[in-house]
Amino acid sequence: MSIAEHPPAAGGHRPGRSDLPLEPEMHPLVEHKHDLVSVGDAIGSVVLNGRHPRGWWIGFLAGFALLQVLAVSVCWLFYMGVGIWGINVPTAWGFAIINFVWWIGIGHAGTLISAILLLLHQKWRTSINRFSEAMTIFAVMCAGLFPLLHMGRPWFFYWLYPLPNVAGVYPQFRSPLTWDVFAVTTYFTVSLVFWYIGLVPDLAALRDQAGKRWQRVFYGLLSLGWRGSAIHWRRYEKVYLLLGGLSTPLVLSVHTVVSFDFAVAIVPLWHATIFPPFFVAGAIYSGFAMVVALAIPVRKWYHLEDFFTDHHLDICGKVMLATGFLVTYGYFSEFWMAWYGHSLYEWGTTIERMFGPYGWSYWCLIFFNCAFPLTFLWSKRVRRSPFWLELICLSALIGMWFERYVIVVTLTRDQLPSSWGRYSPTIWDYATMFGSLGLFLFLFFLFLRYLPMISITEMRELLPKKQGGGGGHSIMENAP
Residue 471 covered by a domain: no
Residue 25 covered by a domain: no
Q: How many H helices and E strands in the chain?
A: 18, 0
Question: Can you give the pLDDT at residue 414?
Answer: 66
**C-alpha dihedral sign at 197, 393, 294, 31:** positive
Write out the H or E segment, with its range, that includes residue 48.
Answer: helix 36-48
Q: How big is the chain, counted in residues?
A: 480
Q: How far apart are CA 300 and CA 378, in angstroms?
A: 24
Residue 198 covered by a domain: yes
Question: Can you give the pLDDT at residue 163?
Answer: 75
Question: Can you give the pLDDT at residue 428?
Answer: 94
Residue 149 covered by a domain: yes
Question: Can you give the pLDDT at residue 470?
Answer: 43
Residue 419 covered by a domain: yes
Comparing CA positions, the residue from 243, 247, 232 lying closest to residue 201 is 232
Question: Can you give the pLDDT at residue 26?
Answer: 56
Question: Can you give the pLDDT at residue 62?
Answer: 94
DSSP letter assigned to residue 51: -
Question: Can you give the pLDDT at residue 370?
Answer: 92
Residue 394 covered by a domain: yes
Residue 75 covered by a domain: yes
74 in Cβ contact with 429 (< 8 Å):
no
Write out the H or E segment, with its range, that includes residue 299.
Answer: helix 275-301
Range of the domain at 401: 31-461
All residue ranges of the chain with pLDDT < 70 are 1-29, 31-32, 34-35, 165-167, 414-415, 464-480
Question: Can you give the pLDDT at residue 469?
Answer: 38
What would the pLDDT profile of 439-473 be if each residue is shown by its tens digit?
999 999 999 988 988 888 888 777 765 433 344 33
Number of domains the chain contains: 1
Residue type, 426: T
Question: Can you give the pLDDT at residue 167?
Answer: 66
Residue 315 covered by a domain: yes
Contacts of 424 (CB under 8 A, 6+ apart): 86
